[in-house]
Amino acid sequence: MHNIITIVGARPQFIKAATLSRQFIKYGINEKIIHTGQHFDANMSEVFFEEMDIPTPAYNLNINGVTHGAMTGKMLEGIEKILLQEQPDGVLVFGDTNSTLAGSLAASKLCIPVIHVEAGLRSFNMAMPEEINRILTDRISNLLFCPTDTAVQNLKREGFDSYQVQIVKNGDVMQDAALYYAQKAQEKSRIISQLGLTDFVLATIHRQENTDDPVKLQAIISGLNNINKMVQVVVPLHPRTRNILQQMNIKPSFTIIEPVGYFDMIMLLKHCKLVVTDSGGVQKEAFFFGKHCITLREQTEWIELVEHGFNRIVGTNTDLLQEAFQYFSSKQSDFAVDLYGNGRAAEVAVAEIIKN
């Protein structure tokens, strides 16, 4: 494959895609990026692309702000037109968004090979739209790049050994990104000094299953308020969640800040003492920067973090959250173990793409 179309729809996917784009350039592969516009992000200006060394998208579909079905349908239509025009050798998708599913569907119906990075991940929770997206994308992909042994085993249990597909464990491209951008973040971010942070816990809340459920949201806020009595809790919070808190008259006592860019997030992760999150990506990033993590979900795709003692799953149970906080407050761990490829995931993936 020498002509690749990469499909992305959210800022984290651009960061993942950039790790492969750098390798594509190195190996002389022609890549064009389609941005579906799934997550409108005001921070994604020209400066964002320059600072992050990310190629500017060749196409922007500007599809957002509609229901899951309408969004996926519009993306499918828009991507199909571009693929018919470009005739690529392969279509590359990441993760589990609507953009991922639409891109893989459009390509597979045109008999264009689909390359899925972050294949094989499972939460085993079919109430999550992301779970549906990742399962369907895996099934219609030709080249499946799995970040972990667990992901490979998930595919084998689902019978992928009997399909005409190629399964490759390449590692996690987010570790590539974290290592690549860590030095840039050190040079560019001022968030730690600007906020005067010293000893603090970093928390993020964004999943709709938590933010849209009054009981769960109240429990999370209460748990973080309790931790905040012992150590400062800092939460970059989306305006939508802030509005929900106001509407429900839920009163946080911890420090709320505006959503942050990737460099600022890296610095918060590097300097915090512990992470509390409902984000899949942040669970891994905590590990990349040597921090324990408490996960505000009932399950995780990254079970190796739990098995190695770096992560605890507490759901929205305030007692379990408090217990995990106390446990990690004194725990020492060796974060040197290689769980995600040690920064070579994109290199392994592109070397394999070239062979196809």
3-class secondary structure per residue, 225-246: HHHHCCCEEEEECCHHHHHHHH
Catalytic, 206? Answer yes
Output the pTM of the full model.
0.87
Q: What pLDDT is attached to residue 123?
A: 87
H-only helix segments in 42-172: 46-51, 68-86, 98-109, 129-139, 149-157
Q: List b or e across 207-221, with b for residues whose CB sees 16 or more CB atoms inside 10 angstroms.
A: beebbeeeebbbbbb
| Identity of the residue numbered 133 | N
Q: What pLDDT is attached to residue 66?
A: 87
Q: What pLDDT is attached to residue 1?
A: 86
pLDDT values of the chain reduced to their tens digit, one per residue, 356 residues: 899 999 999 888 999 999 999 999 999 999 999 999 887 665 555 777 888 888 889 999 999 888 999 999 999 999 999 999 999 999 999 999 999 999 999 999 999 999 999 999 998 989 889 999 999 999 999 999 999 999 999 999 999 999 999 999 999 999 999 999 998 999 999 999 999 999 999 999 998 899 999 999 999 999 999 999 999 999 999 888 999 999 999 999 999 999 998 899 999 999 999 999 999 889 999 999 999 999 999 999 899 999 999 999 999 999 999 999 999 999 999 999 999 999 999 999 999 999 98
Q: Does domain 3-172+341-355 have CATH number 3.40.50.2000?
A: yes
- Indicate the class that CATH gives domain 180-330: alpha beta
> Where do you find CATH 3.40.50.2000 in the chain?
3-172+341-355, 180-330
C-alpha gyration radius of the chain: 20
Set 35, 68, 116, 206: catalytic member: 206
Q: What pLDDT is attached to residue 178?
A: 94
